[in-house]
């Protein structure tokens, strides 16, 4: 039986794995900038395993951006594809394209207890939706809805593009600085890897500091080493993420809990767990009580997006069997 291929493609990296009998294997991470198209990257991945496309029957790609229609252009990447063109080029039986945070949400259904750290304890409502939110190249947001017979349905969206909510005079001053540079200020303009850099530069401009840090990694390391400006950057980042997550729970009724995922926070996970995320998450005035018992976890699983892509593909194949 031919294995399937699954991919989790973000703005910076594309992760690929084989999916066989409900499990991933042979995981590789490729930089999207090094390949002209997804097809070229897939052929490179298969070649590195000594395989050719004809040995793969089915493919699921979890793609950053809204997925619909024949043609897809990746958000935060130069890649694009045609469903028909890719299927024919790789001689596939089935091609499934899903939003990357649809895959991430489905990946939460395969988590083990040791793959999460508690951000805030509470009592999850088993009949309510679950929120999945994660800063990476952008800010992903998705909702996992329970269905009868222990099934799950995902409501994909573009929650990273909501307006950045302001909750203090300091935040207002920084929002004004960001607005003067970018116009409309979205949540992911701050809550992403590039957002850390934007926030750092906004603070430096506002407070007349000399900016000397240029990357998210440098900012994270400086904060953990005690740099006061970098500490404020991470602190505000965590507070803003809590506020955006709390807003999303109010909107979707996701009292089944919140999973925080993505590639940014693992750089400073201990700092994050001790941050103002939990307080800002609940600070909703007269509706604060609605969020008091909603638990939140930081996901430490290595490849939840690939796992979720495999789950999505398996569901498709089971339906068509």
- Asked if residue 166 lies in contact with residue 176, where contact means CB atoms within 8 angstroms, the answer is no
DSSP 25-51: EEEEEEEGGG-SSHHHHHHHHHHHTT-
Confirm or deny that 207 is annotated as ligand binding. no
Confirm or deny that 7 is annotated as ligand binding. yes
Confirm or deny that 8 is annotated as ligand binding. yes
Cα angle for residues 44, 48, 49 (degrees, 5° grid): 125
Residues 318 and 321: their CA atoms lie apart, in Å, by 5
Single out the residue of 60, 53, 130 nearest to residue 88, CA to CA.
Answer: 53
All residues at 6 or more sequence positions from 23 whose CB lies less than 8 Å from its CB, including other chains: 310
- Asked if residue 310 lies in contact with residue 22, where contact means CB atoms within 8 angstroms, the answer is yes
DSSP 211: P
Residues 281 and 283: their CA atoms lie apart, in Å, by 6
Neighbours of 134 (CB within 10 A): 26
Confirm or deny that 134 is annotated as ligand binding. no
Confirm or deny that 10 is annotated as ligand binding. yes
Binding-site annotation, residues: 7-12
Binding-site annotation, residues for ATP: 7-12
């Amino acid at each position: 039986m031919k294995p399937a291929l699954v991919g989790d493609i973000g703005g910076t990296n594309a992760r690929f794995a084989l999916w066989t009998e409900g499990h991933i294997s042979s995981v590789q991470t490729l930089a999207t900038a090094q390949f002209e198209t997804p097809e070229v990257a897939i052929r490179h991945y298969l070649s590195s395993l000594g395989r050719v496309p004809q040995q793969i029957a089915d493919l699921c790609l979890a793609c950053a951006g809204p997925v619909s229609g024949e043609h897809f252009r990746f958000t935060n990447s130069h890649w694009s594809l045609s469903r028909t063109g890719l299927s024919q080029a790789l001689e596939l039986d089935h091609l499934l394209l899903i939003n990357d945070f649809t895959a991430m949400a489905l990946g939460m259904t395969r988590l083990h207890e040791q793959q999460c750290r508690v951000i805030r304890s509470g009592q999850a409502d088993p009949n309510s939706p679950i929120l999945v939110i994660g800063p990476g190249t952008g800010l992903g947001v998705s909702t996992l809805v329970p269905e009868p017979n222990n099934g799950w349905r995902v409501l994909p969206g573009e929650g990273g593009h909501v307006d950045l909510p302001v909750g203090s005079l300091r935040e207002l001053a920084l929002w004004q600085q960001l607005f003067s540079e970018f116009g409309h200020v979205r949540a992911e303009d701050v809550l992403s890897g590039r957002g850390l850099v934007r926030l750092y530069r906004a603070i430096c401009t506002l407070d007349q500091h000399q900016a000397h840090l240029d990357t998210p990694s440098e900012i994270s390391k400086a904060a953990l080493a005690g740099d006061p400006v970098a500490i404020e950057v991470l602190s505000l980042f965590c507070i803003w993420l809590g506020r955006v997550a709390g807003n999303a729970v109010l909107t979707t009724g996701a009292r089944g809990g919140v999973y925080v995922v993505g590639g940014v926070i693992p750089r400073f996970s201990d700092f994050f767990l001790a941050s103002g995320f939990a307080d800002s998450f609940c600070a909703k005035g007269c509706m604060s009580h609605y969020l008091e018992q909603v638990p939140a976890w930081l996901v430490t699983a290595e490849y939840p997006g690939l796992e979720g892509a495999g789950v999505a593909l398996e569901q498709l194949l089971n339906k068509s069997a």
